[in-house]
Amino acid sequence: MSQRRWLYGAATLLVALTFTAERAKADDTSCGSLPSYSALKAALASATSTETSGLNNNMWATIVDRDGYVCAVAFSGTNRGSQWPGSRVISAQKANTANSFSLDAGSRSGGSGQASGLALSTANLYSAVQPGGSLYGLQASNPVDTGVAYKGPASNYGTANDPMVGSRIGGVNVFGGGVGLYGSGRILIGAVGVSGDTSCADHDIAWRVRNLLGLDHLSGVGGVSGDSDRPDNIIYDITPAPEGGTGNSAGGFGHPKCINTANPGNLPPVQP
């Protein structure tokens, strides 16, 4: 066998093995039980148009399953440059974070766990991760997989064939825009992350996306917001600190207000 034929055969085998590995990785996800790319894109476009707070930017959104695999990535603008390019990966980080630090009633066993679950949006983490906070350092605990985040071709970003789909992105983001997805029976099945505007508007749009997808069955799920109709809602209870800095959150889970901040109580209540 000539060297050229041998090299061609080896390259063909490598491509086949890579395709098999990618297919096995994709089959290992539970994305089939989550909204499709087209459903996410439609919900994002509607939620972005409905929400009037923030800067009025177009948005990115990402859905991950319970194991952190990316299932869909979409944008609301006319093309991938119509919204901040950096927000594509941030939306995936937010989805990963909300999924990673939320629970449902299945967490309870042997006297431990949360009997009604515990939903934490990324907005709920802001104050706790500040210096001196109870979760300080959390944002550095699960780095983004840059090989997944920036894999090409870039022409597929935000399409049904986005290169992040089928892989774990990782990352922890600690400002508004990520919320857990709870299906019927208040079962946590993944999360959605949204980015592209102020962090407050990101939260509001993510909330509306979840509502439009019908995956907001959180009534009765535990949360830190103090609002049983919106258990993982953003909290604006930060007051200026005499010594400066980010200020003090009365409940420990507060988030700063942003430009043109909306009333969080106007967001749709969650479903039973």
* Bond before 153 cis per omega within 30 degrees: yes
* Domain spans, the chain: 1-30, 34-266
State pLDDT tens for residues 100-132: 999 999 999 999 999 999 999 999 999 999 998
Q: How far apart are the first and last CA of the chain?
A: 67
User: What pairs with residue 109 in β-bridges?
Assistant: 112
User: Which residues, in sequence order, are CB contacts of 232 under 8 Å at separation 6+?
Assistant: 102, 119, 120, 121, 124, 179, 180, 218, 221, 223, 224, 225
Domain 34-266 matching CATH 3.90.110.10: the answer reads: no
Provide the token pair at 257: 């207000």
Give tens-digit pLDDT for 56-77. 999 999 999 999 999 999 999 9
Q: Which residue has the higher pLDDT, 45 or 17?
A: 45
pTM of the model: 0.90
Which spans in the chain are helix H? 3-27, 37-50, 87-100, 146-149, 199-212
pLDDT at 5 over 80: no
Q: For residue 272, what are its two tokens?
A: 């039973």
Mean pLDDT for 19-39 is 73
Report, as an integer, the average pLDDT of 85-101: 98
Helices and strands in the chain, H and E counts:
5, 6
pLDDT at 45 over 80: yes
Nearest C-alpha neighbor of 144 from the set 163, 125, 172, 166: 172
The secondary structure of residue 130, as a DSSP letter, is: S
At 245 the pLDDT is 82
Q: Determine the pLDDT at residue 237.
A: 98
Helix pair 37-50, 199-212: axis angle to 10 deg: 130
24 has pLDDT over 50: no
